[in-house]
Chains A and B, each alone.
Chain A
Amino acid sequence: MNLRLLAQKSLASRRSTAILTIVSIAVSVILLLGVEKVRVNAKSSFANTISGTDLIVGARSGSIQLLLYSVFRIGSATNNISWKSYQHIAQQKGVKWTIPISLGDSHRGFRVMGTSRDYFSVYQYGEKRTLKFTSGKQFEAVFDAVIGSEVAKTLNYSIGDQVIISHGTGSASFTQHKDKPFVISGILEHTGTPVDRTVHVSLAGIEAMHINWNGAVKKRKTSKVVTESNLQPESITAFLVGLDSKIVSFKMQRYINDYAGEPLLAIFPGIALHELWSLMSVAEKALLIISLFVVVAALTGMLAVSLAGLNERRREVAILRSVGASHWHIMGLLITETVLLTMIGIIIGLIMLYSSIWVAQPLIEKNYGLFIPITAPNVRELGMISVLLAASFLVGLVPAYFAYKNSLADGMSVRS
């Protein structure tokens, strides 16, 4: 007995409710798997923000705070590190490279980061990818700036444009370094990391624009001339460390944390990223729970539709019994119907999910820096789909049971 054919024809005869049920299942599948895909990719893109760096060193504060300002350009440092301490650690045995980071200024909402030229060759993100230039080159002169792809796109900048850097990090800062405009020397390729939203200048540039400034206040009377000799910074905000070998990283971390010169903090970027992500896991779980409830709502809707139609189908059941159908056939028919609806819902949901990823991919990447690749459902997603199918089977048991009870009472003739 081919129950699928009967179930198919029966559903086709109740087309409108069947379609609505399929749509609700499809929507729940889109939400469930969509949230999962965003979650997984956000997590991996998050973990890929920085790579190849063994330690991040800043003034002593919290590890997440250090990670936030040094890598994500969020918040600010409580304290700086003296140039002397930086030099001292940079010259330790086992240290392969260091990149100084100097923060505190901005350009039209984008953070300005002072760094060394090594940054462009050493800094890595994702799967050990280094920074590349779309156009131009790294900064050479004191007032050269290299901008990230998003800065270039948003502000419509190209090589040779002048930028005025504001003092402080607010997007509407009133104190601007108007006297010392920078010239864009290079534009970086898109990375999907905070680098895209950063204006990079040399440490010398940072020093140069602050000459004749005292803290946040412009000195009006003195006017020192910018020369190479007086551009040695006295302090930096943080620095990244690459080591010769991973084996020494714990030793080096302890050395920096115990450094007597000034209170420093060294963190492993991977561990700090993980800590930061687990802070956000509440939101992640909330999203997952919401999408699970949407699935439950869709299944409940399907159950309601199936039960509501049952009374009208007593005659159909009686006829099937009279031509030889057993109770198992009747129950099988009802279960097949719910599983079939769910399967179609899942397939349509998947098609809609993948086509919307395909359509929205560039938009999401542009607006949120998140790239969602079109990949086959992973084990976890397949597991979710299987659980949904199993749940639809269980949901089908309910109308199946009631149809069984009805048919026990009706036999082959419905008295109505």
Chain B
Amino acid sequence: MNEPVSKPTLIRLKKVDFAWHAQAKLTIKSGNLCVEEHEHVFIRGASGSGKSTLLNIIGGIVTPQRGQVEIVGHDFCQLQALQRDRVRADHIGFIFQQFNLIPYLSILENVTLPCRFSKLRRDNAIERSGSVIEEAMYLLNRLYTKGQFSFQRTTSELSVGQQQRVAAARALIGQPQLIIADEPTSSLDYDAREAFMDLLFDELKLSGSTLLYVSHDPTHQHLFNRVADMSVINQQAEVAL
């Protein structure tokens, strides 16, 4: 392995075996994945290929039965659950397929949520914009057409496309090193999908974050540095039907 020193590895999974229950079949078998800083990696996989399990391992929600997991320089197999939670809070921003937002919080409160759990991201936001709220407003104004919404309102009136933009702003706030997007556009129509991808890549250019993008739909894979197939990452992955 001859990795360039200037590009540290953010995600390193080696021979990872994982099953949700002790007796259950392995969901991930001999999983290998390496993502370096500033890379934009597209992971292609059908449902049932172990995508969400993979993301739960990277997020430190679960630890594999065997193998190595190293995220942003932390050996997850050695860390306590609470420490892994801290790494996730500090360094990873997630965008999911849908239902990303907490319904009882306002748009602004949803975006600033990670800064409640991570001092590092709070400090980053304050350093960049003066305050967490200012940073959230800045991100929302960039992702939205300006002044379209009162950000104090709840998220219930937002369209799915608008909800995904709020989720993107939340993932980006406080500049986490790693953005993980799990089918973020699959519930959007074509126009909204294109607009969302444009905005996401614009923001990544600005923040320099690394992107791990998981989707079954290869439409946007040309935008990425690298494409990996779940069947290569996970020996257990079933072939898409």
Contacts and interface: CB of A to CB of B under 8 A. Distances in A.
Q: How large is the interface on B (under 10, 10 to 19, 20 to 34, 35 or more residues)?
A: 20 to 34
Interface in B87-115: 88-90, 94, 96, 99-105, 109, 113-114
Nearest to B101: A319
A324 B182 contact: no
Nearest to B105: A9
A319 B55 contact: no
B104 A324 contact: no
Interface string B161-172: 000000000100
B82 interface: yes
Interface stretch (B5-13, B56-64, B227-235): B56-64
B71 to A, nearest CB: 13
Contact of A323 (B103, B104, B117): B117
B90 A324 contact: yes
Given A1-B117, A326-B85, A412 B90 contact: no
Interface in A314-347: 315-316, 319-329
Interface in A1-26: 1-2, 6, 9-10, 12-13
A322 B81 contact: no
Interface in A226-251: none
B99 A412 contact: no
A411 interface: yes
Interface of A is mostly: helix
B118 A324 contact: yes
A314 to B, nearest CB: 10
Contacts of A319: 99-102
A44 interface: no
B115 to A, nearest CB: 9
Contact of B94 (A2, A13, A329, A412): A412
Contacts of B53: 411
A413 interface: yes
Nearest to A11: B104
A325 B94 contact: no
Contact of A411 (B62, B118, B170): B62
Lowest 3 CB-CB distances: which A-B pairs, in order? A324-B89, A13-B104, A324-B117
Given A1-B116, A324-B86, 6 more contacts: A13-B103, A320-B113, A324-B118, A412-B52, A412-B55, A412-B61
Interface of A: 1-2, 6, 9-10, 12-13, 315-316, 319-329, 409, 411-415
Interface of B: 20, 52-53, 55-56, 59, 61-62, 81-82, 85-86, 88-90, 94, 96, 99-105, 109, 113-114, 116-118, 170, 182
5 contacts: A6-B105, A322-B96, A324-B89, A326-B81, A326-B85
